[in-house]
């Protein structure tokens, strides 16, 4: 095409624009088809079945790799935009079941779940690095959540909240409450202290500002289950006097 640019620059520019738009439309169609195909697989993440078998996740990776191979002939700019959009959607849908209160780990299963989440997250990260996704801001999310889920002592969870809220200021108390539910922390004083700490950290982030983190949205696009505990979102100061001293 370059040999014709000097002779007919306007026509070549118009043709290039049309080809780019057609490639973008094709990418969106492929993306939509992929998400429909993988929805049943992603819906079963973070469940009892997910904890006991890797089959759904392996299928997800396999189909993502197949889609990557289908897009090898995309022009580099469009391929990178496509990979970044796919990266965001896969991550968002992978984490969505975690926020639905569908499963709660018992009998130390939370440590196994945390290890599995960390391992699968690394595989997702490596796959999209290979696809040259620019959405590297998504990388820390899985590790932050694994740190919270895998803590042996509930009281130690608070030490991992600051990094999570700093990197993802759009995360809400409901999201954290859902992560705690999955971890097996469904009630109690420590749960309230953790949620109170989330609220404090979010206020700090708003006051100090983190322009880079605020440019992105991950958790705000993931619905979180409403807590069955009516006190979950009550300010801690309202009932702290009712709690025993320790």
Are 179 and 148 in contact by the 8 Å Cβ rule? The answer is yes
For position 153, what pLDDT does the model report?
94
**pLDDT score at 233:** 43
Say if residues 185 and 227 touch (Cβ distance below 8 Å): no
Q: What is the pTM of this model?
A: 0.83
What pLDDT, on a 0 to 100 scale, did the predictor assign at position 101? 94
Mean pLDDT across the stretch 26-52?
93
The pLDDT tens digits of the residues spanning 219-239 come to 999 999 986 554 444 444 444
In which domain, by residue range, is 163 found? 2-242
Output the pLDDT for position 238: 42
Give me the number of domains the chain comprises: 1
Domain of 13: which CATH number? 1.10.357.70
**Which of the two residues, 206 and 113, has the higher pLDDT score?**
113
The reported pLDDT for the residue numbered 212 is: 62
pLDDT band at residue 63 under the 50/70/90 scheme: very high
Both structure tokens of 159 = 């030490």
More confident residue, 179 or 1: 179
| Burial bucket for residue 94 (CB in 10 Å: 0-12, 13-18, 19+) | buried
In order, the DSSP letters of 21-76 are HHHHHHHHHHHHHHHHHHHHHHHTTTSHHHHH--HHHHHHHHHHHHHHHHTTTS-H
**In the structure encoding, which two tokens stand for residue 2, read together?**
């370059």
Quick one: pLDDT at residue 108? 87
Out of 18-22, 25-29, 114-118, which region has the weakest mean confidence (pLDDT)?
18-22
pLDDT digits (tens, 9 = 90+) for 161-198: 999 999 999 999 999 999 999 999 999 999 999 999 99
Mean pLDDT across 138-156: 96
């Amino acid at each position: 095409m370059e040999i014709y640019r000097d002779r007919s620059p306007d026509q070549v520019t118009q043709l290039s624009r049309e080809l780019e738009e057609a490639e973008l439309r094709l990418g969106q169609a492929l993306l939509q088809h992929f998400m429909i195909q993988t929805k049943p697989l992603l819906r079963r993440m973070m469940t009892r079945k997910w904890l006991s078998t890797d089959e759904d996740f392996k299928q997800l990776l396999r189909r993502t790799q197949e889609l990557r191979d289908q897009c090898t002939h995309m022009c580099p700019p469009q391929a990178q935009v496509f990979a970044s959009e796919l990266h965001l959607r896969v991550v968002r849908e992978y984490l969505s079941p975690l926020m639905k209160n569908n499963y709660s780990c018992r009998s130390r299963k939370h440590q196994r779940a945390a290890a599995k989440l960390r391992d699968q997250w690394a595989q997702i990260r490596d796959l999209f690095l290979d696809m040259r996704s620019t959405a590297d801001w998504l990388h820390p999310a899985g590790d932050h959540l694994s740190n919270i889920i895998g803590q042996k002592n509930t009281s130690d969870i608070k030490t991992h909240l600051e990094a999570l809220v700093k990197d993802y200021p759009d995360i809400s108390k409901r999201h954290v409450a859902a992560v705690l539910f999955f971890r097996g922390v469904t009630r109690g004083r420590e749960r309230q202290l953790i949620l109170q700490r989330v609220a404090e950290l979010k206020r700090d982030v708003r006051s100090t500002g983190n322009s880079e983190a605020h440019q992105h949205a991950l958790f705000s696009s993931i619905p979180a289950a409403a807590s069955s505990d009516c006190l979950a979102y009550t300010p801690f100061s309202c009932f702290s006097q009712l709690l025993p001293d320790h």
